[in-house]
Amino acid sequence: MGKEQSKPSMMEFEEEVQLVRNSKAARSKGWVALVRLDKDDIEFLRPIDAQYSKSGMLVWGIYRFVNGNFYIVASDLSSHKNSRQSYILYFAQNELKMVAEIYFGQLREFYACDDDIKQELRETYSKQQSGRKVINTLIQIAKYYAEREGLIT
């Protein structure tokens, strides 16, 4: 017998997330993580249901998200000729709403839900030291967005 799956509550929802476009050309593994604003860290999530490639790489998964939380989704959109990685910060509000994205293709690109967040994203990224530069930048943007929207005090 399989595991019993509980239904999501009113504060939760489930959504399918594509993590790898082409598993044979992928340069990095995809993942989904909860942003822990109180600890300036992330917590990796496990999918409720998932599809794996023949080589065992997670291609997509169905994840349970809690409204009011921030999540980072790292995905690999690479083809055989081009390397493309994307790190997107989402805010959960009955669906995943994109707040900011750092995209690595031929060039590094920044996307955001508005110009204010995009400017803050560029500035925060340029100030970060080496190490977990992308993750730390997105955590700081989550804090900035939460403060701006009155989600935290």
In order along its 153 residues, the chain shows pLDDT tens digits of 444 456 656 699 999 998 887 666 666 788 999 999 999 999 999 999 988 888 788 888 999 999 999 999 999 887 777 778 899 999 999 999 999 999 998 889 999 999 999 999 999 999 988 789 999 999 999 999 999 998 875
CA distances from 7 to 10, 13, 16, 91, 94 (A): 10, 9, 15, 21, 15
- At 9 the pLDDT is 61
- At 1 the pLDDT is 40
Contact present, 82 and 106 (Cβ < 8 Å): yes
**Alpha-carbon torsion (11, 94, 112, 25), positive or negative:** positive
- Burial class of 17 by CB neighbour count within 10 A (0 to 12, 13 to 18, 19+): buried
Give the type of residue at 152. Answer: I
Strands 58-66 and 12-18: antiparallel
- At 5 the pLDDT is 55
- At 143 the pLDDT is 96
- Its pTM stands at 0.88
- At 32 the pLDDT is 96
SS3 77: coil
Contacts of 137 (CB under 8 A, 6+ apart): 102, 121, 124, 125, 128
